[in-house]
Amino acid sequence: MTDWIRKSAAELVDALTAGEVTSLELTRASLDRIGAVDGPDGLHAFLHVDTEGALAQAAASDERRAAGRTLSDLDGVPIAVKDVLATAGLPTTCGSKILQGWVPPYDATVVRKLKEAGLPILGKTNMDEFAMGSSTEHSAYGPTRNPWALDRIPGGSGGGSAAAVASFQAPLALGTDTGGSIRQPGAVTGTVGVKPTYGGVSRYGLVALANSLDQVGPVTRTVLDSALLHDLIGGHDPRDSTSIPEPFGSFAEAARTGAEADLSGLKVGVIRELRGEGWQPGVLARFDEAVEAMVGAGAEVVEVSCPHFVHAMAAYYLILPAEASSNLAKFDAMRYGLRVLPDGIEAPSAEEVMRATRDAGFGDEVKRRIILGTYALSSGYYDAYYGQAQKVRTLISRDFAAAFEQVDVLVSPTAPTTAFKLGEKLDDPLAMYLNDLATIPSNLSGTPSISVPSGLADEDGLPAGLQILAPALADDRCYRVGAAVEALLVKRWGGPLLDRAPDLTASMGVQS
Amino acid sequence: MSTAGNTEALISYAETLERYDPAMGLEVHVELSTVTKMFCGCPTEFGADPNSQVCPTCLGLPGAMPVVNEKAVEGAIRIGLALNCQIAEWCRFARKNYFYPDMPKNFQTSQYDEPIAFNGWMDVAIEGPDGTPETFRVEIERAHMEEDTGKTLHVGGASGRIHGADYSLVDYNRAGIPLIEIVTKPILGAGERAPEIAKAYVAQLRALIVALGVSDARMDQGSIRADVNLSLAPRGTGVLGTRTETKNVNSLRSVERAVRYEMQRQGAILDSGATVLQETRHWHEDTGITTSGREKSDAEDYRYFPEPDLVPLAPAPEWVEALRATLPENPTAKRARLQADWGFSDLEMRDTVGAGALGLVEQTVATGTAPQAARKWWLTELARRANEAEVELDELGVTPEQVAQVQALVDAGTLNDKLARQVFDGLLAGEGTPEEIVAARGLAIVSDDGALSAAVDAAIAANPEVADKIRDGKVAAAGALIGDVMKQMRGQADAARVRELILERLT
């Protein structure tokens, strides 16, 4: 019997088209896998599984296909959605207690597009509370585990989506990336993640962490699958004023071209500032090998300096908390979500209920960033903090612009290390923040970036990622070069990296 | 919190002016009458069921995003142009952060240091000492766009305020309705005329808004709201003192009264050697005083920053120029034109303007009423009623359309002037349209000979001496009999027909 859960979405499209399998079978296989390996005591990639809804959507997809009226190529391929995206009729908690039980009355634009394209939605995936974190340990509902090593973090904030895809619970997932929340989990779980050009995918219905940095993007096991999903969710949305009106070309086509692994004529810049002290040798070794493979495929590689990247982290941790502190003000117990009445106060005022609710409903990391952001925006400090951070942001964009005058794409390791142990950095926010060192610059500049697996680090045998950064609107380059690197490395490995991941059903003592 | 406030000392207005110069700043919020809200597609209709005109965006649901209403931007630009402002080539929205239950997002999307319109002026028409027209130039600092908040209703308790209330209800229908806030630069040198100028400014601004057609401009419904900033400087020094901000002064008369009151109150404080507290104050329409509002200390820092969910606005110069071409004519030129069209004397025109009736007469005439008839109703009957009710003429609650309908009934012979006054009573009591009131109150003139003949016969029988005089040729004596008939008919008789019937019988 075919092991459908291990197939890529592109392969599933072919199988569905050929009538080898039905959407109902695929969706059931995913739900069975979720039942086998997930749950709070398992990987805990999902916060909510919509068995009934997914099966109904799958059945409807099969009916459409039988009638010759499929809605899209991906019609019938199941998908998981990060819990930060509003889903009508399905709980949306953002990994926070403060939204426990909230069921949105509307769909995020990307979710609407999934539904209109006929993809059964399996459920909502775990995440750091309001997408604040790099380990998914800040989820109010408990962490997600890394399928490569159950005592390790799956990255964050989108650890749930990455783990779901890496553990074959879903062929596709949606993530959101504010400073690396798609790419860093991709790197540490051996999967592919894309942060599109800012404005390339609608943010309507994405519960904002930092509006000027957030983007929705694909989380998949192959570059082509990401491209297929990106083609589906991308494009202008009149409900999101920051979405780009001009159409993009086909990313799937770019990925298919790239898979031919011919990089002749491509100029690649290695970012000097994104390596060195604090970078795990095994991560750097896999990165260097991948770059050599690119050279072998005809690429010209040069070293490029982006001198202001060293300030990216500081700027990011002013801009993000500033925007977040304002975004999160709406959680006030007045209209939805948690409502906590303060102890010992008879007939509390609205303000007292707000205070008690926010105290009980937000986790420590969220509170930390609200305080930071409130401070950074305060009168008398605004220019020194928020204002300066915006200037740094401009300088980083200029670094990118200067670099892209010399090269077509930039590359770096996606994250400085492989997955660390659960709990290891929980009490050290600065160490946690450093995970996003390499991913933050493209959020600050609004440029696209993809993370592809680069191999396993020698020290711990855990996955590392290679990041490909392109100029704004040139997401197609990420797919073309990403698919080439993927093809070169898969050939070298003799198969996908995830084939080397441990057998979860064995380690968890469950039946395959 | 706030004390009743009516214990605060005042000095006389004359004393205030002897020792202090007032400085004013006026902030006027105008609710635009766009079909949809500022940042979403929800309707803006006034008086709909609570929370029936809401969506994820104006309710501030997680994930929802704003999109700018182009019609609102157009209204803002037209207001800016009409106030002789520069229009920004590039501007942004900003978030004004503070917590309040009627603000769905706990920030208001507004404009901060980059308003759509800035540096303008308005020449406010006032009357000189001898009644000659003068103007006083009010400089405009800015006009910017923002969204309205929801409306909180405090239930229970005596004051209708949050303190002492059993619970509060919030209606978010108003949340997200487009507002334009128009802020003056400090108005200096107004002296004793400060209250009058404040009122005239708001009145003229409102007339301008009406002429632009961008708002209903109903102060009684809150679609125009004024905040009055006031401070005093020791006379002749030009050193501005601490200001107070009196919120939601919601009638023209109140603008004038609030300025005067704050001048006298601050004068008393300064006279006593104390300092004026910088604070928000509430205006009390009923008692004509201001009282201390909430302390603003914790809400003072609004942590403004550019709204990241909206892209900057860059109105194309061609668009701005196209909008400039849609502006209503200059008020001075317009007044001259109307006076010529209507054939009013200088005195009649001045009285019309002075009574705040120019626009009302114009709108009445526009519906087909003779100018003199329109002037007569607004300046006599309705002006008297407005005066009694202590409201401005256009706040009385009678519309130009209604006046035109009443006059049409007079022209048709259905009503005489005396009956028309009763129709106005009915209009003010909310009894329906003029025709409905005529029907319901049975006000129509009786010209039916049957009913009139009986009354005439009765009048002749009751006044034999008068009847004899008429028979003797003293026709002028008929007036007494007509009066008797009118009395019997409770005024609802066609006097001319009564006279004919009397003369038919006696001559």
Strand bridging mode A172-177 / A215-220: antiparallel
> From the CA of A263, how many Å to the nearest CA of chain B?
37
Question: Is B162 inside a domain boundary?
Answer: yes
Judged by average pLDDT, the poorest of A258-272, A452-466, B116-130 is: B116-130
Mutate to test the interface with A, among B151, B305, B307, B313 (most CBs of A within 10 A): B305
Judged by average pLDDT, the poorest of A16-30, A109-123, A152-166, B323-337 is: B323-337
Q: What amino acid is encoded at A77 in this protein?
A: V
DSSP state string for B283-318: EETTTTEEEE----TTTS----EE-TTSPPB---HH
CB A150 within 8 A of CB A105: no
Nearest CA in chain A to B169: A334
Same domain, yes or no, for B387 and B300? no
Q: Is the pLDDT of residue B1 over 50?
A: no
Q: What is the pLDDT of residue B294?
A: 64
Q: Is the pLDDT of residue B4 over 50?
A: no
CB B263 within 8 A of CB B14: no
CA–CA gap between residue A411 and residue A469 (Å, rounded): 6
**Which residue reads 């810049």 in tokens?**
A269
Q: What is the pLDDT of residue B163?
A: 67
Sequence-distant contacts of B374-377: CB under 8 A, at least 24 apart: B374/B400, B374/B403, B374/B404, B374/B407, B375/B342, B375/B344, B375/B348, B377/B403, B377/B406, B377/B407
- Chosen domain end from B421, B441, B461: B441
Mean pLDDT of B82-104: 95
CB B375 within 8 A of CB B353: no
Same domain, yes or no, for B59 and B80? yes
Q: Is the pLDDT of residue A450 over 90?
A: yes
A397-442: pLDDT as tens digits: 999 999 999 999 999 999 999 999 999 998 888 888 888 999 999 9
Mean pLDDT of B159-171: 76
Same domain, yes or no, for B377 and B462? no
A108/B105 touch (CB, cutoff 8 Å), yes or no: no
Same domain, yes or no, for B345 and B480? no
Compare CB distances from A86 to B60, B63, B66 and report the shortest one's residue: B63
A228 or B292: which leads in pLDDT? A228
> From the CA of B154, how many Å to the nearest CA of chain A?
12
Q: Please, which residues 138-197 of chain A have a Cβ atom closer than 8 Å to chain B? A: none
> From the CA of A160, how many Å to the nearest CA of chain B?
20
Same domain, yes or no, for B112 and B195? yes
Residue B145 pairs with which residues in a beta bridge?
B180
Give residue A291's region: left, alpha or beta (phi > 0; psi -120 to 50): alpha
User: For residue B117, how far is the Cα from the chain centroid?
Assistant: 24
| Residues of chain B with C-beta less than 8 angstroms from the C-beta of A382 | 303-305
Q: Which residue in A187, A197, A215 sits closest to A84, CA to CA?
A: A215
Check A135, A157, A226, A454 and give the catalytic one.
A157
Mutate to test the interface with A, among B40, B303, B310 (most CBs of A within 10 A): B303
Does the CB of A397 have a partner CB in chain B at under 8 Å? no
DSSP state letter for A245: -
CA–CA gap between residue A167 and residue B58 (Å, rounded): 40
| C-alpha distances out from residue A244 to A197, A240, A443, B375, Å | 9, 9, 16, 57
Count of A–B CB contacts within 8 Å?
103
pLDDT band at residue A346 using 50, 70 and 90 as cut-offs: confident
A241/B310 touch (CB, cutoff 8 Å), yes or no: yes
Active site residue A491: no
Same domain, yes or no, for B68 and B150? yes
Compare CB distances from A99 to B62, B66, B170 and report the shortest one's residue: B62
B104/A335 touch (CB, cutoff 8 Å), yes or no: yes
Which helix (H) or strand (E) is A464 found in, with range?
Answer: strand A463-469
Range of the domain at B483: 449-506
B309/A208 touch (CB, cutoff 8 Å), yes or no: yes
Check A23, A30, A82, A445 and give the catalytic one.
A82
B67/A207 touch (CB, cutoff 8 Å), yes or no: no
Same domain, yes or no, for B426 and B350? yes
A386/B308 touch (CB, cutoff 8 Å), yes or no: no
CA–CA gap between residue B500 and residue B493 (Å, rounded): 12
Nearest CA in chain B to A102: B62
B305-360: pLDDT as tens digits: 999 999 999 999 999 999 999 998 877 778 889 999 999 988 888 888 878 888 89
Question: Is B53 inside a domain boundary?
Answer: yes
CA–CA gap between residue B309 and residue A242 (Å, rounded): 7
Question: Is B483 inside a domain boundary?
Answer: yes
Judged by average pLDDT, the poorest of A447-456, A499-508, B254-263 is: A499-508
Q: Which residue in A319, A119, A82, A363 sits closest to A203, CA to CA?
A: A82
| C-alpha distances out from residue B476 to B466, B480, B492, Å | 10, 9, 22
Q: Which residue in A131, A183, A141, A140 sits closest to A44, CA to CA?
A: A141
Does the CB of A444 have a partner CB in chain B at under 8 Å? no
Rounded to the nearest integer, the mean pLDDT of chain A is: 96
Strand bridging mode B94-97 / B305-306: antiparallel
Following CA atoms B373, B378, B380, B384 in sequence, which dihedral angle do they give, to the nearest 10 degrees?
A: 160
DSSP state string for A353-406: HHHHHHHHHS-HHHHHHHHHHHHHHSTTTTIIIIIHHHHHHHHHHHHHHHHHHH
pTM: 0.86
CA–CA gap between residue A477 and residue A470 (Å, rounded): 6
| Residues of chain B with C-beta less than 8 angstroms from the C-beta of A332 | 99, 101, 106
CB A146 within 8 A of CB A154: yes
Burial class, B135, CB count within 10 angstroms (exposed 0-12 / middle 13-18 / buried 19+): middle
**Which residue reads 């391929």 in tokens?**
A77
Does the CB of A450 have a partner CB in chain B at under 8 Å? no
Same domain, yes or no, for B453 and B427? no
CB B263 within 8 A of CB B16: yes
CB A73 within 8 A of CB A93: no
Same domain, yes or no, for B391 and B371? yes
Question: Is B172 inside a domain boundary?
Answer: yes
Compare CB distances from B107 to A329, A335, A378 and report the shortest one's residue: A329
Mutate to test the interface with B, among A198, A204, A240 (most CBs of B within 10 A): A204
B63/A335 touch (CB, cutoff 8 Å), yes or no: no
Nearest CA in chain B to A375: B303
Cβ neighbors of A246 (< 8 A, separation 6 or more) are A236, A473
> From the CA of B25, how many Å to the nearest CA of chain A?
23
Q: Which residue in B454, B461, B501, B445 sits closest to B478, CA to CA?
A: B501
| Residues of chain A with C-beta less than 8 angstroms from the C-beta of B92 | none
B303 or B501: which leads in pLDDT? B303
> From the CA of B118, how many Å to the nearest CA of chain A?
23
| Residues of chain A with C-beta less than 8 angstroms from the C-beta of B168 | 350
Query: Which residues of B make CB contacts under 8 Å with A?
Result: 56, 59-68, 95, 97, 99, 101, 104-107, 162, 168, 170, 301, 303-305, 308-311
CB B181 within 8 A of CB B38: no
CA–CA gap between residue B82 and residue B215 (Å, rounded): 14
| Residues of chain B with C-beta less than 8 angstroms from the C-beta of A108 | 63
B99/A210 touch (CB, cutoff 8 Å), yes or no: no
**Which residue reads 């679609």 in tokens?**
B223
Residue B170 pairs with which residues in a beta bridge?
B152
pLDDT band at residue B167 using 50, 70 and 90 as cut-offs: confident
Does the CB of A329 have a partner CB in chain B at under 8 Å? yes
CA–CA gap between residue B243 and residue B229 (Å, rounded): 6
Question: Is B491 inside a domain boundary?
Answer: yes
> From the CA of A400, how many Å to the nearest CA of chain B?
22
First to last CA, chain A: 13
A278-314: pLDDT as tens digits: 899 999 999 999 999 999 999 999 999 999 999 999 9
**Which residue reads 């917590």 in tokens?**
B99
Check A30, A181, A202, A325 and give the catalytic one.
A181
CA–CA gap between residue B75 and residue B77 (Å, rounded): 5
Active site residue A442: no
Backbone angles phi, psi at A400, to 5 degrees: -60, -45
DSSP state letter for B493: B
Burial class, B236, CB count within 10 angstroms (exposed 0-12 / middle 13-18 / buried 19+): exposed
A326/B95 touch (CB, cutoff 8 Å), yes or no: yes
B62/A94 touch (CB, cutoff 8 Å), yes or no: yes
Buried b or exposed e, range B350-385, using 16+ CB within 10 angstroms: bbbbebbbbbbbbbbbebebebebbbbbbbebbbeb
The domain locations on chain A are 4-309+394-507
CATH of the domain at B480: 1.10.10
Of 3.90.1150.10, 3.90.1300.10, 3.10.310.70, 1.10.357.10, the CATH number of A4-309+394-507 is 3.90.1300.10
Q: Which residue in B71, B390, B26, B36 sits closest to B225, CA to CA?
A: B26
Tally of domains within chain B: 3
Same domain, yes or no, for B201 and B229? yes
- Chosen domain end from B320, B340, B362: B320
Same domain, yes or no, for B333 and B471? no
Judged by average pLDDT, the poorest of A123-127, A236-240, A501-505, A507-511 is: A507-511
A241/B303 touch (CB, cutoff 8 Å), yes or no: no
Tokens of B332: 């001075």
Report percent pLDDT > 70 for chain B. 95
The segment with the largest mean pLDDT, out of B274-283, B414-423, B467-476, is B274-283
CA–CA gap between residue A83 and residue A126 (Å, rounded): 6
Does the CB of A242 have a partner CB in chain B at under 8 Å? yes
Q: What amino acid is encoded at A337 in this protein?
A: G
A330/B62 touch (CB, cutoff 8 Å), yes or no: yes
Strand bridging mode B178-184 / B20-31: antiparallel
Strand bridging mode B94-97 / A463-469: unpaired
| Residues of chain B with C-beta less than 8 angstroms from the C-beta of A379 | 301, 303
Active site residue A391: no
Query: Hey, is B27 helix, strand or coil?
Result: strand
Q: What is the pLDDT of residue B2?
A: 38
Per-residue HEC secondary structure of B406-456 comes to: HHHHHHCCCCCHHHHHHHHHHHHCCCCCHHHHHHHHCCCCECCHHHHHHHH
> From the CA of B288, how many Å to the nearest CA of chain A?
30
Compare CB distances from B65 to A105, A204, A329 and report the shortest one's residue: A204
CB A468 within 8 A of CB A194: no
Question: Is B236 inside a domain boundary?
Answer: yes
Residue B228 pairs with which residues in a beta bridge?
B26, B246
| C-alpha distances out from residue B333 to A58, B210, B330, B338, Å | 72, 17, 6, 9
Q: What is the pLDDT of residue A512?
A: 42
Same domain, yes or no, for B385 and B316? no
User: For residue A291, how far is the Cα from the chain centroid?
Assistant: 24
CB B383 within 8 A of CB B355: yes
Tokens of A380: 């008398």
Question: Is B2 inside a domain boundary?
Answer: no
Judged by average pLDDT, the poorest of A284-293, B276-285, B395-404, B474-483 is: B474-483
A330/B68 touch (CB, cutoff 8 Å), yes or no: no
> From the CA of B73, how many Å to the nearest CA of chain A?
15
Residue B96 pairs with which residues in a beta bridge?
B108
